[in-house]
Every structure is written in C-alpha cells, then in structure tokens.
Structure 1
Amino acid sequence: MTVQDVRAFNRFYTRLIGALDYGRHLYAPYSLTESRVLYELAHDGLMDAADLRARLDLDAGYLSRILTRFVDAGLIEREPSAADQRRRRLALTERGREVAALLDERARERVAALLDTVPPRDRRRLTEAMHTIRGILDGGHTEPQAPTEVVLRDPLPGDLGWIVQRNGAVYAAEYGWNAEYEGLVARIVAEFAERHDPRRERVWIAESRGRPVGCVMCVQDGKGASTARLRLLLVEPEARGRGVGDRLVRAVIDFARQAGYRELVLWTNDVLAAARRLYERHGFTLVAERPHHSFGKDLVGQDWRLELS
C-alpha cells in the first residue's frame, strides 16, 4: 500500500459521505460538526464541555460558539460541574433530544438507502472490511464496547468456504500447522456440501455484528448410524471468552440427541488445551491417544466420546 492508495480511498469516501448528504438537507439547519455535538450528547447524557472538546478534537473557541448557539436555541442546558466548579456540564433539553433524534433518523435512512444498492452477498465483505480498517488504524485504542449478541445460524452461501479459510489461517497462526490441515478441512467441508443428510447432519455458524466468529459441524460417523461425530469446532480469537464455544458444542449435543444418535465422538489433538477443557465440561471422556506427525508437527491425537442415551 502507498500514500496514494490511502489518499485515493479518502477522496472516494469523502465523495460518498457528500453523496449521503446530497442537497445539504441531511443535517440542515445544522453543520456536520454541530450534528456530531448533538449526537454525542444524545448518546452519553451529561458530559463536561472539556471532555466533549477532547472527544471531537475541536477548538475550544469554536465549540464554545456552537454551545452558545444551542443554549440560545433551547437545545442544551449548561451548569457547573458538582465535582469541579470550573467545568461546565452539558445536557440536552427535551427539544434538543427531539432534534438529535430527527437527525439520527435521517442519517439512518440515508445509510439504509446506500446499503440497498449493495448485493446481500457483498454486505458481509463490506462489514468485515470496515472492521479491518478501523481495527488496524485505531491501533487498539477504540473504546470498549458492550458485548454484542452472538447468534447461531445455518450457513449462508460462502460460509463453507469461510470455514476452510479460517481454519487454515487460525491454526497456522496459533500452532504453526501447514497447508495439510487446510486440505483436510477442505475435504471434510466438500464431502458435507456434496452429500450430507440434512435430517442427521448439520453445520452451525456463530455470527456477531453481521460476521462469522465461529463454526462447528455434526455428521454421521462412519462406524454406523448410531454414532455422530463433532467436527471443525472453531472460535475466532476476538470472540473467545464469551461462551461461543460452549454454545456451539451444546448445539451439536442437542441436535445429535434429537436426531436419534446414541453417542457423539470427536478427534482432537493434545495441544488444543482450551478445546479439551470445553469437551470435558460437556461430559466427553478421553478414550484413546496416539502420537502422529501431521500438519508439519509432532502431535498426540485424542479420541473423545459422549454417551447420549
């Protein structure tokens, strides 16, 4: 990437934002900066003027003029801070909240209209690209956000390919496994896609903020119709510690019972300590171990079993 690449993207995005505000009606009669001030006050409630200035990186005199205009228009109230009389606390009035809500609704409508022009298959890529840009350029300084809901769903077009790609990338990064593992995952996924029985076999995708953060598969084991196999459990690093793995394993267990299987088995490796603890919590027992050299590493494979009846 070059400086020109970044500047070209900035020019494109600036034009895009301008197109969203075509005719300058989106925030009228307020400027974009004034609308940002109203947005921050609407979402954070009481706030010191100094904190607001720092958050929006505004000149003190410029912000003071905006706030004076808002006071005169009956949009905000200013009062001394109880903790420090030198600081001023800001709060929206009822009229201020109405104006902020109107501006927010207009913005939502314009963005929704923009997204309507994006094919559904491309929206996830767009979301992932936005998260990637923000995460890299922010340098980890984004304010902590409340945990978002994680939903389990059936795979959409492209999700099976995502399972292969993320398994290959995550295990290479965390354990140094080579392309042999990605090839194994690709064969497992291809076999499922070509000839799975939807009544007795299933894949789950864990999704957060519109993007996949985990997966797991339940298939009939080759040993017979009474045995199911749990395969390809994966939770993205960013989603760990939120119970995603527990929910995925529980989904497989519940489905296997409902499908009439009598036992559920899985194969893993001893280096996957977090996964092994997860299986133990759900009642799996270790039934066999054997060393092997796979994926470019010396490993100890493990067979685990759960009685379902």
Structure 2
Amino acid sequence: MTVQEIRAFNRFYTNLIGALDYGKHLYTPYTLTESRVLYELAHAPRTDAADLRLELSLDAGYLSRLLGKFERDGLVERGPSEEDSRRQRITLTTRGREATALLDERSREAVGRLLAGVPAEEQPRLTEAMRTVRDILGELRPDRRRHGEGPVLRDPVPGELGWIVQRHGALYAAEYGWNADFEGLVARIVADFAQDHDPHLERVWIAELDGRPVGSVMCVRDETPATARLRLLLVEPDARGHRLGERLVGAVVDFAREVGYRELVLWTNDVLTAARRIYQRAGFTLVAEKPHRSYGADLVGQDWRLSLQEGTPK
C-alpha cells in the first residue's frame, strides 16, 4: 500500500508543478539539472565540483561537461580550491548570479501561482506536511546517515525576513536584556532592504539546519562609495558549534569581493564577544569605539573595517 501511495504522489506532484517540463514553466534556457546546479552555486559560497557531485548525485563526467558549458557562457569561473589545490572551486560570475536571480524569480512566481489556489488557513498544514516528508525521507540518504545533513546557506523564502526581525528581538532580549528599541531598529533595516535593494550588489543569507532557519546575515551598500556594510549577523543558540558565524561572514566577504566593493564595514557592540572574534578571524580591524546608551543598556559601539580588492561596483 505504501509503495502505491508514494508512486501516486510522485505522479501527482510532478504533473502539478511541471517538473518534467521545467523550462516551459520558467521560460528560461536551462534544464532542470542545470537550474539545480546554478541554485547550489548561488546558495553555497564555497562550492567545489566534488561538493556538487555529492549533493546532486551527478555523474562526474556529466557535471564536468555542464560546468564547461557554463564557463563558455560566462556563468562560472573555475580554479583550485583554497583549502585543497587538488579540488576544483566553482564560483558564479556576475552574469551567473543574474541568471540565477532570474531563475529564482521565475520559480517564486510559479510557486506563488500554485499557492494562490490554496486557502490561507490550509497553507500551514501543507507546509508542515511537506516538511514531514522531507525530514523522514531525508534520513534515508546514505551521505546524510553517515555525516548528518549539515547546515546550508541560502536566500530567504517568503516570511523569513520577518523571522530575522523576530529572532533578533527575542534572542537579544534573552541574552543581553535589550528592549524593543533594538527589535525596532532591526525591523527598519529589514524593511528598507525589502522595499528597495539592488539584488546585484545587496543580499541576505539564511542559514538552514535540519529544515529550519537558524541564522542570518546581510550585505548592503554603505553611504560611502564602493563600500559594503555587513549587518544582522545571527546564529541560534542551539545551532552554534557548526561554525555558522564564520560561514555567514565568509559569504558576505566573498560576495562583496565578487561584485567589486573596495571595503566592507560593520558596526557592533563590545558585549558581542563571539561575533567580534569572528570578525577578527575574517580580517576585520577595529577602527573606532564610542560609548552610548541604547536598547536600555550602557554599551560601547565599535566600527570595524575590512579592505577588499580594488574595483568599484558597477
């Protein structure tokens, strides 16, 4: 009975979302597999060919040909991994990120059209059922049984910008006693980003672990020309220990370099010792300090700076 139900569900779902004719629905020149590779490259700041083969279960020869096509089309660049010169690191170019952004936009539109027919009161039940299927069947993957699924970095899905605001407010109140003024500040930052940002020069990352968001960070343009600002770094307490803080900061640094910013800056407070250690390890230098009273607490604000490659964002 279970076998028949799963097969019936597979037929129903693939027909519903048009997975067998991906390009027709998203109006892009990429096949489903090509789109999946681009998605992985966009959502994992440090990806090499071996990672892609493992995550997507692709044949090595097929993946090599596909990446060669992407390289000829100016979508990716290939080079030796910084961690292991025997491995090949794959990074998206500006053109590659534009292509991925288009795919992401079309995919969101397609899912939005699908959900438009689902009553609002039924949508939580639908998402919970899908999460249950993923959690149960995800445990069957041999690589995840051996090593655990592990955290991934990705773009936010609808509702997660609000999650960033809520979790900042709750965590900083619980850990540092900050009042609602801080949550209001985070809400303004997130609202400004949502209302008006350049997707080629500004970005938000969500850290996901076991199917749920557990961290965030943001890269936005600063008022100073050719300068980016790192904002809203957060890692949930129960997700600490996975080096997610380092990965999130590394994602911002890599992105800022790739799009041509000359320097990266951030503002924090001295009580956030774990975050400050992450910034120091990433190469940031403390350039200024100033006492202030904010969020119901006496604090010392700090300005940090990281010099990047030469070049002005286009």
Change in 2 beyond 3 A, CA 1:192/1:124: farther
- Which 5+ residue runs of structure 2 have no aligned equivalent? 17-113, 133-145, 310-314
For the Cα contact (< 8 Å) 2:264–2:305, is it kept in 1? yes
Task: State the partner residue of 1:59.
Answer: none
Change in 2 beyond 3 A, CA 1:112/1:170: farther
Supply the AA of the counterpart residue of 1:160: L
Task: State the partner residue of 1:168.
Answer: 169
Supply the AA of the counterpart residue of 2:124: D
2:213 & 2:243 partners in 1: Cα distance?
15
Highest Rg: 1 or 2? 1
For the Cα contact (< 8 Å) 1:207–1:214, is it kept in 2? yes
Task: State the partner residue of 1:225.
Answer: 225
Q: What pairs with 1:44-83 in structure 2 (closer than 5 Å)? A: none
CA deviation profile, 1:12-60 (whole Å, cap 9, x unmatched): xxxxxxxxxxxxx55xxxxxxxxxxxxxxxxxxxxxxxxxxxxxxxxxx
Q: What pairs with 1:122-201 in structure 2 (closer than 5 Å)? A: 122=124, 126=128, 147-201=148-202
**How much does 1:106 deviate?**
6.9
Q: What pairs with 1:193-212 in structure 2 (closer than 5 Å)? A: 193-212=194-213
For the Cα contact (< 8 Å) 2:131–2:211, is it kept in 1? no
Secondary structure of 1:292's aligned partner: strand
**How much does 1:300 deviate?**
0.6
Task: State the partner residue of 2:287.
Answer: 287
Task: State the partner residue of 1:69.
Answer: none
For the Cα contact (< 8 Å) 1:127–1:210, is it kept in 2? no
Change in 2 beyond 3 A, CA 1:157/1:121: farther
For the Cα contact (< 8 Å) 1:152–1:206, is it kept in 2? yes
1:211 & 1:251 partners in 2: Cα distance?
19
For the Cα contact (< 8 Å) 1:221–1:227, is it kept in 2? yes
Change in 2 beyond 3 A, CA 1:155/1:178: same
Change in 2 beyond 3 A, CA 1:212/1:111: farther
Task: State the partner residue of 1:267.
Answer: 267
Aligned residues: 193
**How much does 1:150 deviate?**
1.1
**How much does 1:151 deviate?**
1.2
Please identify, of 204-213 and 174-183, the stretch whose mean Cα deviation from structure 2 is larger. 204-213
**How much does 1:288 deviate?**
0.5
For the Cα contact (< 8 Å) 1:168–1:179, is it kept in 2? yes
**How much does 1:122 deviate?**
3.1
Aligned Cα root-mean-square deviation (Å): 3.1
Secondary structure of 1:157's aligned partner: coil
Change in 2 beyond 3 A, CA 1:112/1:184: farther
CA deviation profile, 1:236-262 (whole Å, cap 9, x unmatched): 111101011111101100110111110
For the Cα contact (< 8 Å) 1:127–1:211, is it kept in 2? no
Change in 2 beyond 3 A, CA 1:108/1:151: farther
- Which 5+ residue runs of structure 1 have no aligned equivalent? 1-24, 27-104, 131-144
**How much does 1:301 deviate?**
0.6
Tell me the TM-score normalized by structure 1.
Answer: 0.56
2:252 & 2:126 partners in 1: Cα distance?
25
2:264 & 2:126 partners in 1: Cα distance?
33
Change in 2 beyond 3 A, CA 1:124/1:201: farther
Tell me the TM-score normalized by structure 2.
Answer: 0.55
For the Cα contact (< 8 Å) 1:199–1:259, is it kept in 2? yes
For the Cα contact (< 8 Å) 1:128–1:211, is it kept in 2? no
Task: State the partner residue of 1:18.
Answer: none
2:296 & 2:131 partners in 1: Cα distance?
32
CA deviation profile, 1:168-204 (whole Å, cap 9, x unmatched): 0111111111100000000000000011011110001
For the Cα contact (< 8 Å) 2:214–2:236, is it kept in 1? yes
**How much does 1:108 deviate?**
6.3
**How much does 1:124 deviate?**
9.1
Change in 2 beyond 3 A, CA 1:126/1:219: same
Change in 2 beyond 3 A, CA 1:111/1:265: same
